[in-house]
Chains A and B, each alone.
Chain A
Amino acid sequence: MRKVAKVGLVLSGGGAKGAYQVGVVKGLVALGIEVDVIAGASIGALNGGVIACAGSLTQAAGRLEALWETLAEETPISVENPLGALSYLVLLSASGLKMKMALLLAQRAAQLAGIPFPVDNEISILSDKPLQRLLSAYLDVNALERGLPLHVSVFMSSGGFLDIAQIAVAEAGLLETPDSQFLHVQSLPLSEQKNALLASAALPLLYQPRKVNGKLYADGGQGGWSRAQGNTPITPLLHSGCDTVIVTHLSDGSLWSRYDYPHTTIIEIRPQTPIARDSGFLGGPKDLLGFDTRKIRSWIDQGYHDTLHSVGRIMNSLQAYSHLQAAEQARMNSEAQDADADAALSSAMSRLRSLEN
């Protein structure tokens, strides 16, 4: 695609399905597309961080692939709170789909087992230390400072349980969660930048919320739940002046709507085949936290092929349109010379005829 516009890349959240975005980046590289600004939510923020600090999208694709290979080999999930079987049910709640039911089951099970269920904001089930290690390994803060502008989506946490409850209500279509906020990472102090990324990926209850600029933030995907306002952070890119935005989705049939942004050229990369690998009651959480080799590789492949399909289709159409316009212009230019050629021929023939007479 001819780079005539400021191009933004939206990396939405979706846990382990973030591997799909590795394929997307590889696809964009294959199609020769560069981006100018990045915005990410949750796992998209972490991927965005790696992309932003890479020198180019090609380098970013390589680094992301290496990072996700590592994630496939050593899961970033480490259980910090010994809740045993309950932890799995809480993980289930993180999917957001069967949230309320899972939460109730978790609470009930805890009561029956005589185990106090965590209610404090500071308590989390999973340790984010593995994530921090990975970030240290793959995120060069100095390079990030000079890299592409990166915005991350964060949600002002009201405490893990309350956040979950808000999502449950929004999921039922009763009340919308408050909108997520967007932080421009490079505008934050260096010490806060990694925190902002971790905050954006801090799934409620699973990970500890993070303090950035003195405020407690959790997973940015929670805001504007029914519209996926926080999970698909296009707003900061529009404010940055992007007129073309590539949006990646990590869920089947995301209800985020391009029609909410009528003045922007949006290219959505949606899964063309189900992105969910597990089905059934526990399918969502399993996918969300499914950092295993088989799934990760399949998502990378899917993201790559979906990108080639979706963006390739658009590029072909644009190319055809561009060829049509070029051909029309060439025809007009050619016709503009007709008069001179006709006059020259006419003059020559007149001279010839004068000889005959």
Chain B
Amino acid sequence: MNYPAIPKDAEICRVLTCLHQKFIVDFANGIDVARDHQRVQRERSGFYARLRDGLSGKGARRQAEINAPLIDGVEASLHWLTELTESLAHSHLAIARVNERVNSIKQEMATLANYSFETRQGLQEVAQRLNNRCDKIEEEVARIDFVQRVQRNLSAVFARWEGGRFESLSPAGRCFAALEELRWGDFGDYCRIHTGQERQQFLQEATNRAIAQLKRDLQSTASERFGATLWLKPPAGESTLPNAAEALAYLAEEYPPQQNPFVFVSAHAVEQLPLHVPRIMSATRLSETLVEEVFTRDIYA
């Protein structure tokens, strides 16, 4: 039975949702119905069967029952195909819209990525500057700390000299011992690492303090000259430390005598002075030369 096609968006389809179901049921079930009739029709191909089916009208009815689902099936196929095509069109449109939006999001994403890159770059620069600054501050702090330790080292050594700790040694030996103490301490480390004005200032300060202490020890002036015997003669008496001379010689072991004649004579009990060593000298001459030999000669390089 044929009915006019009902549009998919017709109001009746919204009211009777089962209409869609009926159309699918008729479509799918119609195949089984047609197949059943077609099978029987094929079996009834004998003369009497055909004659009987023709006379009774069963043949025509069966054919009609085969035709109806086929026609309905084609119509349903068209209906379904139309619906599927519409759905597919909607889906494609939706995909196109999704694609547009994805592209738009990609562009925004690119903007964000650039922004992120620039931000990160800026942050890295700031971090680098900050690190440099911190390094500098750290260096400065380390330097200040080092300078402090050098100062403490300087003060401590000359305080020990002033306190009479080196009295077992000759005046020149005291000066060498004090300078050796400095060389093995923070003062020496500083002089090994650094060059320049500040190092020079420290060496000058050490020289000055040595001159001052020698002045006090000999109760003289800085430029007053004394014979070598006075400078090099170790004190005698019970209060002197045993082995002091050996210790001093041990400290001077690494100084080649030819390059460091003042060190050599200050640390060893020599009977004959080397030619390079003056027979008379002032506290200034002794201090400056010992500082030079201990801190500026090759041994120190």
**Chain B binds chain A:** yes
Binding site for B on A (CB under 8 A): 4-5, 171-173, 226, 243-244, 249, 252-255, 257-259, 262, 265-272, 274, 309-310, 313-314, 317-318, 321, 324, 328, 331, 335, 338, 342, 345, 349, 352-353, 356
Q: When the two chains form their complex, are residues B28 and A314 in contact, meaning their CB atoms are under 8 A apart?
A: yes
Shortest CB distance A250–B (Å): 12
A255 touches B62 (CB 8 A): yes
Q: Interface-forming stretch among B107-115, B172-180, B208-216, B240-248?
A: B107-115
Q: Is the CB of A267 within 8 A of B29?
A: yes
- Nearest CB in chain B to that of A309: its residue: B32
By a beta-carbon cutoff of 8 Å, the part of chain B in contact with chain A is 1, 3, 18, 20-22, 24-29, 31-33, 35-37, 39-41, 43, 55-58, 61-62, 65, 68, 84, 87, 90-91, 94, 97, 101, 104-105, 108, 111-112, 115
Could you tell me the distance between the alpha carbons of A345 and B102 in the complex, rounded to whole angstroms?
A: 12
For A331, list chain B residues within 8 Å (CB).
90-91, 94
Shortest Cβ distance from B49 into chain A, in angstroms? 11
For B20, the chain A residues whose CB sits under 8 A away are 321
Q: Is the CB of B32 within 8 A of A272?
A: yes
CA of A338 to CA of B29, assembled, Å: 41
Min C-beta distance of B236 to chain A, whole Å: 87
17 further contact pairs, Cβ within 8 A, besides A318-B24, A345-B108 = A226-B56, A226-B61, A244-B25, A255-B61, A257-B68, A258-B29, A262-B1, A265-B25, A268-B29, A268-B32, A274-B43, A314-B25, A314-B28, A321-B21, A324-B84, A335-B94, A349-B111
For B84, the closest partner residue in chain A by CB is A324
Cα A257 to Cα B29 in complex, Å, equals: 12
Docked Cα-Cα span, A258 to B31, in Å, equals: 13
- For the complex, what is the distance from the CA of A271 to the CA of B20, rounded to whole Å? 26
The answer to whether A255 and B58 have CB atoms under 8 Å apart is yes
> Quick check: B29 and A310 within 8 Å, CB to CB?
yes
> Which secondary structure characterizes the binding site on chain B?
helix
A318 close to B25 (CB less than 8 A): yes
Contacts of B111 in A (CB 8 A): 349, 352-353
Q: Which residues of chain B come closer than 8 Å to A328, judged between CB atoms?
A: 87, 90
Residues of B within 8 A of A338 (CB): 97, 101
| Interface residue from B25, B40, B55 paired with A267 (Cβ < 8 Å) | B25
- Can you identify 20 A-B contacts, CB atoms within 8 angstroms? A172-B55, A173-B58, A252-B43, A253-B40, A255-B61, A255-B62, A258-B33, A262-B3, A265-B25, A269-B32, A272-B32, A272-B35, A272-B36, A309-B32, A317-B27, A317-B28, A345-B105, A349-B112, A352-B112, A356-B115
For the complex formed, measure the closest distance between the CB of A152 and the CB atoms of chain B, giving whole angstroms.
25
B1–A4 CB distance below 8 A: no
> Which A residue's beta carbon lies closest to that of B65?
A257
User: CA separation between A267 and B58, bound complex, in Å?
Assistant: 23
A residues less than 8 Å from B56 (CB atoms): 171-173, 226
B108 lies within 8 A of A349 (CB): yes
A324 to B86, CA, bound (A): 12
Q: Which residue of B lies closest to A260 (CB)?
A: B1
- Nearest neighbor of B27 in chain A, beta-carbon distance: A317
Whether B24 pairs with A253 at a CB distance below 8 angstroms is no
CB nearest neighbor in B for A254: B36
* B80, closest chain A residue (CB): A321
Chain B residues with CB below 8 A from A171, complex form: 56
Q: Which of A173, A268, A317 contacts B24 (CB 8 A)?
A: A317
Contact check, B28 vs A313: say whether CB atoms are below 8 A apart: yes
B101 touches A342 (CB 8 A): yes
The minimal Cβ–Cβ distance linking B90 to chain A, given in whole angstroms, is: 7
In the complex, chain B residues whose CB is within 8 Å of the CB of A270: 32-33, 36
Residues of A within 8 A of B43 (CB): 252, 274
